[in-house]
Structure 1
């Protein structure tokens, strides 16, 4: 009888421990614009080390996520923002929506990947940069010479053969537009986009879609970003990856804690991991430029010196002028945008 009682007590204790472990699980709601296939890898690795934290993702393009966060300002639904454009996070910071936090090891990151305040309101992960995806097969059929610069894209022979992202919905689109305004100046930047618009077939609501369209032959030229270009080329697409001679706009994937979260300690744990060497090594599968120095290895099909091609992007300027830029762009060019899904 004693043995049976011991067995029952042991089973009861095990059940209590299991119940306690379940009760201690913290759920984080995470808003993100990370590419879906990468998000799955990152989440799986994090969860192995932190099984007590369950990650629930709300994923969309940069502009959509940013708009959602701003709409929820007075009633935040997210705990953490993991992988959103730094220009978007600067807007949210101005609105007082971010909880400052210095993740463990933040001092090891490149200074430009860390918010200037102490403690920082956000921290960077990796950088993505503009590039042109040129379908060599379709280009040859049409007798089109491969462009080498942004200005080349305004040549009349490219009319109807270019697709680019809408900056209001795509972070890649916004880095294109804001970088052209910085590269060429405001007056000449809008004049450039006026000329480019004549050749645009459509504006998509995804930064990766123009390159995917070029990869499949739906268009000849897709203005996109270097990670998607390298991935499509690796998958066998007949693409040349063009890094325009004037230099390329860029933004960084960055993360932050949403002010007012009820799960602050779990949120800090995720941010700690998001800047770790392990995380940076995972980011390097697709991204050539990382927040942590001396970790990145060359990405196949991308130039080893791609970081040197990135312009001196003024993130503060881009963030402060974001609404005005998008309003003007929408007024001028939105008629060619794809319908929103």
Structure 2
């Protein structure tokens, strides 16, 4: 609507310039000169507004790539857009593996402005490839050094942690006569064959985190042997880390390997699940945020980082 109005104004100003000149085709008298100068000034301003309109529109949208859960994004977006009504966030959300692959594929032609809520293991790859813009957000000094890049300023900063969890449907388990597993190794027992779902480590950050942690805890030889046995009991590998817990809650399978945030949300919603971490649990994983090298919208990107920094300051990891 605004651009139509500007186009009409340009048309009127050009018409006005023609009317100023038509009284004397050879020379312009002082009155006509003043008219012409006034019209030319208006024309220049109108053209400037029209030509800069696409740039102004482009600066109002900030593209943020993330692997956070969809229901987690609402709080960030509501607060950010309330404080910055002229900037809209465009989320590009998927599982960690998909977002990581997408960013690597777009390395030569970046589409993201900010990367938020992605596993630190992925950001280490981006940092090595020179894809990140270093930045020290407010409150970074409150974080444990284990959750911050050791460079100054850091290329990435941790924003939260998450832990693996076993979601156990008590109703379905009772129907099938199986007991709750008390450790990761319990999941390899024959009674759990085709009773377990877990995230695919090739696409899910949660799945990758599980594999990495098992190898660190058990050692490489014992860890791979454990996963071979566990594989025999897996009924399905899922694309995302939250789906196994959702499936367990729905009664599709009695056991789902997932993470504690989704398990707690589902249990709070009334689902008949019990959840917990193994007695010999995988380490916590860190999800981080960073500024992407694209840097076409530095002011908007900085505002997004400040929003995340608020969360950092309120809850030091």
Please point out which of 56, 59, 62 is paired with 1:23: 56
Map of 1:6-155 to 2, 5 A cutoff? Answer: 23=56, 25-155=59-189
Structure 1 counterpart of 2:248, from 214, 230, 251 = 214
- Which residue of the partner structure matches residue 22 of structure 2? none
- 1:239 matched to 2:261? The reply is no
Do the aligned partners of 1:125 and 1:280 also contact (CA within 8 Å) in 2?
A: no
What's the offset of the Cα at 1:90?
A: 0.9
Please give the alpha-carbon distance, in whole angstroms, between the structure 1 residues aligned to 2:146 and 2:86. Answer: 32
Secondary structure, counterpart of 2:166 in structure 1 = strand
8 Å contact from structure 1 (residues 162, 223) kept in 2: yes
| Contact map agreement 2:140 2:309 (CA 8 A) in 1 | yes
How many equivalent pairs are there? 265
CA distance in 2, matches of 1:233, 1:261: 41
Question: Residue 101 of structure 1: SS of its match in structure 2?
Answer: coil
Contact persistence 2:139–2:309 (CA under 8 A)? yes
8 Å CA contact 1:98–1:259 kept in 2: the answer is yes
State the distance in 1 between where 2:65 and 2:305 align. Answer: 13
For the residues of structure 1 that align with 2:103 and 2:309, how far apart are their CA atoms?
Answer: 23
Counterpart position of 2:4: none
User: Equivalences for 1:192-203 in 2 at 5 Å?
Assistant: 192-203=226-237
Distance 2:81 2:247 in 1: 34
The match for 2:15 is none
| TM-score, normalised with respect to structure 1 | 0.74
Instruction: Compute the displacement of 1:280 (Å).
Output: 6.7
Contact residue 111 and residue 294 of structure 2 kept, 8 A: no
Q: Is the 8 A contact 2:156 2:290 kept in 1?
A: yes
- Normalised by the size of structure 2, how large is the TM-score? 0.80
Q: CA deviation at 1:248?
A: 2.4
User: Secondary structure of the equivalent of 1:269?
Assistant: helix
Q: Which residue of 2 aligns with 1:175?
A: 209
Deviations 1:219-273 (A, max 9, x none): 0100000000001111111111121011223322211111132112221221122
**More displaced 10-residue stretch of structure 1: 85-94 or 245-254:** 245-254
In structure 2, how many angstroms separate the alpha carbons of the residues matched to 1:23 and 1:227?
Answer: 39
Matched, 1:186 2:220: yes
CA–CA distance in structure 1, aligned partners of residues 246 and 286 of structure 2? 21
Structure 1 counterpart of 2:286: 252
Query: Deviation at 1:91?
Result: 1.1
